[in-house]
Amino acid sequence: GVRPFQCTQCDKAYRTKRDLQEHQVLHTGQRPFSCEQCGKAFARRPSLRIHRKIHLATGTGPTSPKGCQCAVCGRRLANPGSLRNHMRLHTGERPYACPYCGKDFRQQSNLREHLRLHTGEKPYKCRFCGDAFPKLPELRRHLISH
């Protein structure tokens, strides 16, 4: 396929700008993707996904209470609140609706993040140039440019 986004530091090329930006993190030494269970950080999102699977397969990381295991798929969750949110994947429940556009969400935190699109709130500020962003991943992508 066509790969129009070329890395300026090596020969690699990518189909999307986002893929190129994620690749360029390797050249900066940044590790923006971190494991919620053990804190280990990775330069690339796929590496974090693989790492998480190791926790699931080996049962390592913080031990989950037995009552926090999903009865549908067997996944262990860190706490009852996480289990409640996880169960919404199976039930399809989306109890948090945007008052502006009606879009609904499984988690209140996702609604809060979405509301920033309507309110213009940008709480994540770049310490180098002062640019601000509504979502943390957008700030992290921006930081690559510095």
Provide the residue count of the chain.
146
Q: What is the CATH number of the domain that holds 111?
A: 3.30.160.60
The reply to whether 11 falls in a domain is no
Is 135 domain-assigned? yes
Give dist(CA 25, CA 112) in Å, integer: 28
> Does residue 22 surpass a pLDDT of 90?
no
pLDDT reading at 89 higher than 50: yes
Query: The tokens of 66 are what?
Result: 């037995």
* Residue 49 counted as domain residue: no
Asked if the model's pLDDT at residue 19 lies above 50, the reply is yes
Query: Mean pLDDT across the chain, nearest whole number?
Result: 85
Determine, yes or no, domain membership for 48.
Answer: no
- Using DSSP bridges, classify how beta strands 96-97 and 41-42 pair: parallel, antiparallel or unpaired: unpaired
Find the domain containing 132 and state its range: 96-143
Confidence of residue 29 (pLDDT cuts 50, 70, 90): confident
- Please report which confidence band the pLDDT of residue 61 belongs to, taking 50, 70 and 90 as the band edges: low
Q: How many CB atoms lie within 10 A of CB 31?
A: 15
80 inside domain: no
- Please report whether residue 6 resides in a domain: no
Average pLDDT score over residue span 52-61: 64
**Is residue 117 situated within a structural domain?**
yes
In a domain, 136, yes or no: yes
Higher pLDDT, 146 or 118: 118
User: pLDDT value at position 58?
Assistant: 53
DSSP conformation letters of 44-83: SHHHHHHHHHHHHHHT-SSPPPGGGB-TTT--B-SSHHHH
Residue 102 makes CB contacts below 8 A (sequence gap 6+) with none
**Gap between the Cα atoms of 146 and 28, Å rounded:** 10
- Cα radius of gyration rounded to whole Å, the chain: 19
Domain count, the chain: 1
Q: How confident is the model at residue 64 (pLDDT cuts 50, 70, 90)?
A: very low
- Tokens in use for 67? 């009552």
Query: What pLDDT shows up at residue 133?
Result: 94
Q: For residues 44 and 34, give the distance between their C-alpha atoms in angstroms, rounded to a whole number.
A: 10
How does strand 5-6 pair with strand 96-97? Answer: unpaired
Whether 56 shows a pLDDT value over 80: the answer reads: no
The yes-or-no verdict on residue 88 having pLDDT over 80 is: yes
